[in-house]
Amino acid sequence: MDLEPYLQQIEDGVPKFGIRQHLSIIPILDGWSSLVLEVDGETIFRFPRFQAVRAGLEKEAALLPELTKTLPVAVPRFEYVFLNDPHPTHGFVSYRKLPGVPLDRELIRQPLVIQDLAAFLSALHAFPAEQAFRLRVPRFSPQAWRQRYCNFYTWIQEHLFPLVSERPRTRVRNVWEPFLDDETNFLFQPVLIHSDLAAEHILCNLQSGRVTGVIDWEDAALGDPALDFAGLSYLGELDSLRAVIHAYQGAVAVDILEKRAAWYSSLAPYYQARYGLETGSLDHLHEGLNAL
């Protein structure tokens, strides 16, 4: 890929960094929403592709310095923030790369990792909601949260149902409608959540068996705490997930967390299919539809 436009942005925004004098500039993520460059294995530059993503980075820039004071694990500390360019695809943030490797099936079995994940989620969900709201974090009432998923289900019916037969449509209805119709699933107290706590966003130290950091906070919101447990379930280590939930200190019953986290984790194929339709990626679309 052509990195020149991104290097020029860095050169214009941070001339003292001397981007063209660095030996290694590697794109480590070329995604739908962002491009991420790693420079000399030490510095991360993130470039938003859309205005909504840029707004998410602005939110991170406001929120992360406050989270640093309260969380038991590290989060990115933005050193450079250039997000004021009127061009919708121009702008970036930069921070020193956090140490560690992404969480995997082996690491999540480690007792200290389970302990650290529970402590991290307990502290995150206890962060003052009003303070988070003042820091540009969007707030969803339980009713608005339910409507958000009702809207997604409507989208599924309009865009995915025409692509599949009646049998998978019935399975989809059986996933969505009982959950959305059960008012007890929306009696939660909104808390600050990461909202995209997939394994690749949780960094661990292989030697110490501890969680070292959590990255990519652009989707942070005030919403259902159960969503932050859903990403852990993708690893398939359900005993470890239950151990994290049991060690969690939030004010939500264990069985309720497990139920709602399981439902959120079942939605991955729908997001994958939606990503495929919106980006024109037939591979993602077919994988999502096949999973249904």
For residue 244, pLDDT over 80 is answered with yes
Distance CA 222, CA 71 (A): 17
Distance CA 141, CA 225 (A): 13
Domain boundaries of the chain, sorted by first residue: 4-97, 102-291
What are the tokens at 220? Answer: 């942070």
Range from 49-53, 76-80, 188-192, 287-291 carrying the lowest mean pLDDT: 49-53
Q: Which CATH number fits domain 4-97: 3.40.50.970, 3.30.450.40, 3.30.200.20, 3.10.129.10?
A: 3.30.200.20
> Do residues 276 and 149 touch, judged by C-beta distance below 8 A?
no
Mean pLDDT score, 76-98? 90
pLDDT tens track for 205-239? 999 999 999 999 999 999 999 999 998 988 888 89
Output the CATH code of domain 102-291. Answer: 3.90.1200.10
What pTM value is reported for the model?
A: 0.93
pLDDT computed for residue 88 by the predictor? 66
What are the tokens at 14? Answer: 């941070």
